[in-house]
Copies of this chain bind each other. A is one copy, B any other.
């Protein structure tokens, strides 16, 4: 990998990946429309180039990708909760955009691509931890459906055009530059009012989380060692929302009254239990270095040190 192309390079995972690739000696072209990404996350090195643009603009995307050898397609509508408020957003930003990335690659003769998919494609599975070969699932969210569609496109470009696509089914990712999700929401709420915390759902939802640097280790390993395929990326543990609330409130030294909802799901399409079997990526030699609890605490520490991210840029 000499010159990598990262969509969503100003985002949480994309900017951490850009830093890593630069430190590994690659040059990086970042592509971002800065709708949710932040200038402050972008690398300041000369080996990094930002192209400000939208993944829905195929011509601009194709031009920006020129000269690159590997694509990390991380740009997305990553907020899983509001699908029913604007269904077209997931279709455009997660499915149509992925198609454009593949077409831009084809025009540039690039075959290696990494795609940020999601454990949400399993819907509400019956098997835990859930392997990549779980029974053909039913989609329960527009977000999951739109990412599944992206995976399918990447696979079809594998058969049709010889692409080497790696789709990564992420659990929730934690760490520095995290700007949405439950730690963000809880910290923002407790900062405004340390005496009360409203929680989406009844607090029993169980989720798995992965630290961003562990996530990047895994992606780069799969790009190096595997010719293609789908990989679950998560830790071999999970926690309940209530556990995470305990860690966060203890670290902040607050004792809020907890106001839980009555539903098992935090929102429409929320999966009450996400826990992925990561034997496939582990078989390549990877394992996570950071526990869920430490990932939550690192994230919280970073948010405390960077309160500007609690507001739009």
A-side residues, CB < 8 A to B, are: 83-84, 87-88, 91, 95-96, 99, 102-103, 123, 132-142, 144-146, 148-149, 151-153, 155-157, 159-161, 229-230, 268-269
Besides A91-B99, A148-B149, A149-B152, 20 new A-B residue pairs in contact (Cβ under 8 A), listed by A number:
A83-B156, A83-B160, A87-B157, A88-B103, A91-B96, A95-B95, A123-B155, A136-B230, A138-B229, A139-B151, A141-B159, A142-B156, A142-B160, A144-B152, A145-B153, A145-B156, A149-B149, A159-B268, A160-B268, A160-B269
Number of copies: 2
A sample of 17 cross-chain residue pairs with beta-carbon separation below 8 angstroms, ordered by A number, consists of: A84-B160, A87-B102, A95-B95, A123-B155, A133-B136, A135-B135, A136-B137, A138-B155, A139-B152, A139-B156, A140-B159, A141-B160, A145-B152, A145-B153, A146-B152, A159-B268, A160-B269
Q: List B contacts of A268 (CB < 8 A).
A: 159-160
With the chains together, A142 CA to B158 CA distance in Å?
Answer: 10
Q: List B contacts of A159 (CB < 8 A).
A: 139-141, 268-269
Q: List B contacts of A160 (CB < 8 A).
A: 83-84, 87, 141-142, 268-269
Nearest-Cβ distance from residue A203 to partner chain B, whole angstroms: 21
Whether B95 and A149, one on each chain, are in contact in the complex, defined by CB atoms closer than 8 angstroms, is yes
Contact of A136 among B99, B136, B142 (CB under 8 A): B136
Quick one: closest B residue to A83, CB to CB? B160
With the chains together, A87 CA to B106 CA distance in Å?
Answer: 11
Contact of A88 among B83, B99, B149, B269 (CB under 8 A): B99
Nearest-Cβ distance from residue A25 to partner chain B, whole angstroms: 33
Q: List B contacts of A156 (CB < 8 A).
A: 83, 139-142, 144-145, 269
With the chains together, A249 CA to B141 CA distance in Å?
Answer: 50
Contact of A140 among B102, B135, B144, B155 (CB under 8 A): B155
Q: List B contacts of A153 (CB < 8 A).
A: 91, 139, 142, 145, 149
Quick one: closest B residue to A270, CB to CB? B159
Nearest-Cβ distance from residue A157 to partner chain B, whole angstroms: 8
Nearest-Cβ distance from residue A115 to partner chain B, whole angstroms: 13
Contact of A149 with B145 at beta-carbon distance under 8 Å, contacts A83-B160, A95-B95, A99-B91 already known: yes
Q: By CB atoms of chain B within 10 A, which of A138, A156, A229, A268 has the most?
A: A156
With the chains together, A269 CA to B156 CA distance in Å?
Answer: 8
Q: List B contacts of A152 (CB < 8 A).
A: 139, 144-146, 148-149
Q: List B contacts of A95 (CB < 8 A).
A: 91, 95, 149
Q: List B contacts of A103 (CB < 8 A).
A: 87-88
Nearest-Cβ distance from residue A300 to partner chain B, whole angstroms: 31
With the chains together, A152 CA to B123 CA distance in Å?
Answer: 10
Contact of A139 among B84, B132, B155 (CB under 8 A): B155
Q: Ordered nearest first, which 5 A-B pairs have the shortest CB separation?
A: A149-B149, A145-B152, A139-B155, A133-B135, A145-B156
